[in-house]
C-alpha cells in the first residue's frame, strides 16, 4: 500500500462523515482536521462509530446484538465437570415460544456450556435470546445418538451383568467421562454407592431422562467481549452486494462486520469480511480507473 502511494493516518478517528455539495465526501477527524474524498469505504468492524456514520448518511441500522457466545447455566451438578468436552451432543433450546436445535461438540465450562454446537445454536437464536434477556431452557442429550431405548437397554444390561457392582464403578456408557456420569447420578438422585441390583425402577427412569434430555435453566450468556461476532448492522437491502456500494449514497462503500451479516463458526465470518472488502476494493479501483479514462 505504501509503495502505491497510500497514506496511512493512525490515531485519527473519524468523527463526522458528510456529503459535499459538489460531490464526494467531507471527513472530520478527532483533531478537527478536514479531509476530502470522492469515495469512502466504511469497514469499522463491530465498533458502533461505523454504524453511526452510516446512519448519518441515510442508512437503516438493524439493531446489533451479540452472536456466537457461550451460555451461562444454573447447573450445580455440572460444576465439577468443567473442561469436559463431548461430541454428538444434542441441544434443544426453548426461548419464549421459539425452539432451536443443534448437534455437535460441547464443552462444559465453570459457568455453563460452550463449544462449536453451542456457538452455532446461539448464532441462530441470537435475537430470541437477546429479547428474552438470555433466559430460557436448554435440553441436552448426552447419549451420543443412542436415544432413549438404547440408553434404557444399557441400564438394564448393567443391572443384570454388573449386579454386585456399584453404579458409579460400573459405568454403562463408555463415551461418558466418570466425572460427568457421577454428576448425572447426583442430579437423578441416585446414591453412587448403590449396587446395580438394588437400583429402583424410578431411579432408572430418572437416569434415562438425565442422559437423554437433561433440563438446564439458562441464566445468561458468556461475559461481555467473549462473543465472536455481532448480528445486526447496515441493512443489506441498502447495499449493492456485487460492488458493496451504498444504494443510499453514491460513492460510499461498506464491508465487514459493519453490515448485517453474521454466520456460524467455521471461518464464514472472516470470509464475509475478506470477500466484501475485496469486492469493495475492486469496485472502487474500477470506478477510479473509469473516471480517469474519461478525464480529458
pLDDT for 59 equals: 96
Quote the CA–CA distance of 30 and 53 in Å, as a whole number: 14
pLDDT for 292 equals: 61
pLDDT for 5 equals: 85
| Cα pseudo-dihedral 268, 273, 275, 281, rounded to 10 | 180
pLDDT for 1 equals: 76
Strand duo 40-42 + 252-254: pairing: parallel
Give the mean pLDDT per block of 10 residues along the chain (296 residues).
84 90 87 89 92 95 92 91 97 96 96 94 95 96 96 95 95 95 94 94 95 96 72 95 95 94 83 95 90 58
pLDDT for 173 equals: 95
User: Which residue's entry shows cell 441436552?
Assistant: 140
pLDDT for 224 equals: 60
Amino acid at each position: 500500500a505504501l509503495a502505491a502511494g497510500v497514506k496511512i493516518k493512525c490515531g485519527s478517528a473519524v468523527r463526522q462523515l458528510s456529503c459535499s455539495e459538489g460531490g464526494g465526501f467531507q471527513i472530520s477527524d478527532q483533531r478537527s482536521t478536514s479531509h476530502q474524498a470522492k469515495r469512502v469505504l466504511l469497514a469499522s468492524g463491530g465498533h458502533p462509530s461505523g454504524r453511526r456514520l452510516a446512519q448519518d448518511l441515510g442508512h437503516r441500522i438493524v439493531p446489533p446484538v451479540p452472536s456466537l457466545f457461550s451460555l451461562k447455566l444454573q447447573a450445580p451438578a455440572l460444576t465439577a465437570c468443567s473442561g469436559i468436552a463431548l461430541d454428538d451432543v444434542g441441544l434443544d433450546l426453548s426461548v419464549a415460544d421459539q425452539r432451536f436445535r443443534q448437534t455437535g461438540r460441547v464443552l462444559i465450562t465453570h459457568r455453563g456450556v460452550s463449544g462449536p454446537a453451542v456457538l452455532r445454536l446461539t448464532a441462530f437464536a441470537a435475537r430470541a435470546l437477546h429479547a428474552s434477556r438470555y433466559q430460557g431452557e436448554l435440553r441436552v442429550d448426552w447419549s451420543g445418538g443412542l436415544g432413549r431405548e438404547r440408553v434404557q437397554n444399557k441400564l438394564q444390561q448393567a443391572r443384570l451383568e454388573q449386579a454386585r457392582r456399584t453404579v458409579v464403578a460400573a459405568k454403562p456408557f463408555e463415551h461418558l467421562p466418570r466425572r460427568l456420569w457421577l454428576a448425572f447420578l447426583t442430579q437423578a438422585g441416585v446414591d453412587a454407592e448403590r449396587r446395580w441390583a438394588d437400583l429402583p425402577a424410578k431411579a432408572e427412569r430418572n437416569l434415562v431422562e438425565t442422559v437423554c434430555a437433561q433440563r438446564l435453566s439458562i441464566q445468561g450468556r458468556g461475559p461481555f467481549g467473549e462473543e465472536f461476532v455481532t448480528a445486526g448492522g447496515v441493512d443489506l437491502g441498502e447495499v449493492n452486494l456485487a460492488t458493496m456500494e451504498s444504494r443510499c449514497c453514491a460513492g460510499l462503500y461498506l464491508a465487514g462486520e459493519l453490515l448485517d451479516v453474521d454466520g456460524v463458526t467455521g471461518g464464514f465470518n472472516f470470509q464475509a469480511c475478506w470477500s466484501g472488502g475485496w469486492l469493495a476494493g475492486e469496485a472502487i479501483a474500477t470506478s477510479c480507473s473509469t473516471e480517469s479514462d474519461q478525464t480529458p
